[in-house]
Structure 1
Amino acid sequence: MSSVYGPFRYSPVTAREPYRMKNGAKVAVCVFPNIEFFPLNMVIPRAGASGKIPDVPGWGMRDYGNRIGVFRLIELLNRYGIRGTVALNSDICTHHPQIVEACLAHKWELMGHNETNVTRLNEVPESEEDGIIVRTVEAIERATGERPKGWLGAGLQETWRTLPLLHKAGIEYVADWCNDDQPYNMSIGDGEKLACIPYSFELNDKMAYEAYTCTPDEFAGMLRRQFDVLYREGETQARVLPIALHPYLSGAAHRIDALDRALEYMCGHEKVWLATGSEIATFARDL
C-alpha cells in the first residue's frame, strides 16, 4: 500500500536504549560486493550512456570486474577474514559460475540482486515483478544449494508490492532503504516482519568514483572517517558500517591498495565485528 512514510516506526537514535552487537562490538563492518551481469545486447543504465547496443566501452568496464576485479576483492577480503555479503545478479550463476564457486569457497553470503542489473523492479509491468524475484531466488538456490536470505534490488529500487513479494519468496532481510546505522524491523502486514539492514549510498565506490570523482585515497579517507565517528558513537550505540563495492571499480589495480589500507585500519581496532548481512539481521529482532 502506498504511504507517506515507510513500513516501519520512526525511531530517533537519541530515544533508543544503549545497544551492543556480537561480543560487545562497537562497530559491525559489513562489506557488500555487488557482482552484476550486464547483457551485451541490452542498454546499460549508466551516466552518459548512449542508449545504443552494443555499448562496448561501458560493457567492457563491467566485464573487467567479473574477469579480473572480483578476484582481487576476494583475495583482499580473505586476507582480513572478511566474508563478503554479495549482491548477486542471478544471471552470474548461469554465465559466470566460476565466480559463484569462488565466493562459496570463502563462505561468502549471497543476496538476491535481480536477474541482471539492467532491469529495475519499478520499471517493469506489475505482473512481472513477482516472477523476477522468484526466478532470482530460485536460480541462486540451484547454484548454491541454499536459498538466499537477503535482498538488494538492482538500483535499490522497489515498488509498493516488493516487500510482501520478497517475504513470500523466503527473503528475511533487505538492504535497499539506507536510512539508519542500525538494523531494524519493517512491518509488511498481517503481523509479518522483514529485517532492514544498513547499506550506504555514501560509502559506495560507485558514488565515490563516478559521482563524486574521488581519488582512491579520498575514498579510503571517507571509509576511515566514517569508521572513526561510528566507533566513537558505538560506545553506547553500536553501529553498522556498510561498504558497497563494485569489482570493476574497487577491483581495479590502481584502487585496490587504498581499499586495503582502509580495511587494515578498521581491522586494527578492538571491538570490531566483521559481519555478514544475515548475521546483522538477527540483531534487528532486539530493536
Structure 2
Amino acid sequence: MRYDFVPMPHRKPLRWPNGARIAMLITTNLEYWDQVKDTDKPFYPGGPSIITDMLPGNVYDNPNWTWREYGHRVGVWRMFETFERAGVPTSCTMNAKMGLERRAVVQHAVDRGWEIVAHNYVQTDLLSNYQFDIEGERQVIRETLKVYREVVGKPAKGWLSCSLRSTPNTPDILAEEGLTFFTDLLNDDQPYLMHCEGGRRMVSIPYTSEVNDFTVFLRQGKDVNGAFSVFKEQFDELYREGASSGRLMNIGLHPHVIGQPFRIRALRDFVDYAKTFRDVWWTTREEIAAWYLEHHAEHIG
C-alpha cells in the first residue's frame, strides 16, 4: 500500500465541480452475517453486539443475529424513505452474501440508481484473515466481484472492506481487478492518489469511524439529538474550511442501528439541514474517483 504523505498546507486548493464546498456522501452499509460458522472461536459479526457475551461461532446467537436482521426487514426501509423524500442519493455498500440472501434490499437501491460499493463476501470473513495469504485474499475479492456483477448487473468500481480490515496487499489486488477507488482509509478529508503495482492508480476516498452510527450511538451513548449535533458539527466545520479548499464528508450508517424508530430522526434532520446549503455536491464515490483521476494534478501535483 503506497501513497504520498502530503499534509494539508502543502496542497493546492481543491476545487469541486460547480464550486461546491463539500462533496457529501451518506453511506448505507448493506451487510449480511451467517447465523453460524464452523469454528469454536468467538464469532466476529462486524461492529458492536447488542448482547456482549461472545458465543462460539458454531453456536447460534439469536439476539445478535436477529438484531442485525432487523436492519434488512425494517430499518433500511426507513433510511430509504428518508433519501427518497429528500431527493438525495445514498452510497450503499454490499457484501456478496447480502446480494444473494437479501436481494430485495439491494434491488431497491439498484432500481433508484444509487451507488453500490463492493464490501467483501460475507461480513464475518475479514480480509485481515489473509494477511499472510495473498492468493486467499485474491480469491475472496474475485468471488465478491463475481457476485457483485451478477447482482448489480455491472462491474464494481470500488471497495470498502468489512470493518475496514484490509491488508497492505488489498489495493494492489483491487487495482489488478480494474477497480478505481478504495475507501478503507481514515486519514483525510480529501481524496488522494494511491500508487499500486504495475503503475496502476486508485483514488482513496476516506471513510470515517468517528461520524458513524456505531460510534455515536453505541460507543458514545448519544441520543438522537446528540447524534444530529455530531453530524451538524462535522458538516459546519468542513463547510467553513471548504470555502478555501473543498472537503469530503462521509457519514457511515447501518440499518440495524440508525434504522431504529428512536434514532432515525437524526438522519432525517441532518439531511434536511444539509439540503439548505446550495454549494453541496450530493455525489457518489464513483463520480468523485472519476473526477479526481482527471484533476488530481491541480490538487496534489
Aligned equivalent of 1:20: 15
Alignment partner of 1:241 is 2:245: no
Farther-moved stretch of structure 1 (89-98 vs 125-134): 125-134
Q: Which amino acid aligns with 1:154?
A: C
Secondary structure of the 2:109 match is helix
Alignment partner of 1:39 is 2:45: no
Aligned equivalent of 2:240: 232
Aligned equivalent of 2:264: 256
| Alpha-carbon distance in 2 for matches of 1:179, 1:44 | 25
Contact 1:27 1:272 in 2 (8 A): yes
Q: Which amino acid aligns with 1:120?
A: L
Alignment partner of 1:138 is 2:146: yes
Query: Residue 118 and residue 273 in structure 1: after superposition, are their counterparts in 2 closer, same or farther (change >3 A)?
Result: same
Farther-moved stretch of structure 1 (43-52 vs 55-64): 43-52
| Alpha-carbon distance in 1 for matches of 2:246, 2:291 | 11
1:107 to 83, 102, 113: 113
Q: Which amino acid aligns with 2:284?
A: T
Deviation (angstroms), 1:167: 1.2
Aligned equivalent of 1:278: 286
Q: Which amino acid aligns with 1:148?
A: A
Alignment partner of 1:78 is 2:57: no
Q: Report how many aligned residue pairs link the two structures.
A: 282
Alignment partner of 1:67 is 2:70: no
| Alpha-carbon distance in 2 for matches of 1:109, 1:274 | 12
Aligned equivalent of 1:161: 169
Gaps of 5+ in 1: 1-5
Q: Which amino acid aligns with 1:32?
A: T
Deviation (angstroms), 1:49: 4.2
1:267 to 239, 259, 275: 275
| Alpha-carbon distance in 1 for matches of 2:21, 2:279 | 6
Aligned equivalent of 1:56: 62
Deviations along 1:203-246, one digit per CA (max 9) or x if unpaired, are 11111122111212111111101111111111111001101100
Deviation (angstroms), 1:283: 3.3
| Alpha-carbon distance in 2 for matches of 1:136, 1:108 | 19
Aligned equivalent of 2:6: 11
Deviation (angstroms), 1:160: 2.2
| Alpha-carbon distance in 2 for matches of 1:28, 1:161 | 28
Query: Residue 14 and residue 165 in structure 1: after superposition, are their counterparts in 2 closer, same or farther (change >3 A)?
Result: same
Farther-moved stretch of structure 1 (76-85 vs 152-161): 76-85
| TM-score, length-scaled by structure 1 | 0.94
| Alpha-carbon distance in 2 for matches of 1:19, 1:164 | 26
Deviation (angstroms), 1:78: 1.6
Deviation (angstroms), 1:13: 1.0
| Alpha-carbon distance in 1 for matches of 2:148, 2:255 | 19
Aligned equivalent of 1:3: none
| Alpha-carbon distance in 1 for matches of 2:187, 2:288 | 15
| Alpha-carbon distance in 1 for matches of 2:104, 2:209 | 29
| Alpha-carbon distance in 1 for matches of 2:53, 2:16 | 43
Contact 1:186 1:194 in 2 (8 A): yes
| Alpha-carbon distance in 2 for matches of 1:237, 1:154 | 31
Alignment partner of 1:198 is 2:198: no
Aligned equivalent of 1:172: 180
Contact 1:183 1:283 in 2 (8 A): no
| Alpha-carbon distance in 1 for matches of 2:178, 2:276 | 37
Gaps of 5+ in 2: 38-42, 297-301
Deviation (angstroms), 1:40: 0.6
| Alpha-carbon distance in 1 for matches of 2:292, 2:281 | 16
Contact 1:112 1:148 in 2 (8 A): yes
| TM-score, length-scaled by structure 2 | 0.90
RMSD: 1.4
Aligned equivalent of 1:209: 217
Contact 1:196 1:284 in 2 (8 A): no
| Alpha-carbon distance in 1 for matches of 2:236, 2:211 | 14
| Alpha-carbon distance in 1 for matches of 2:243, 2:91 | 25
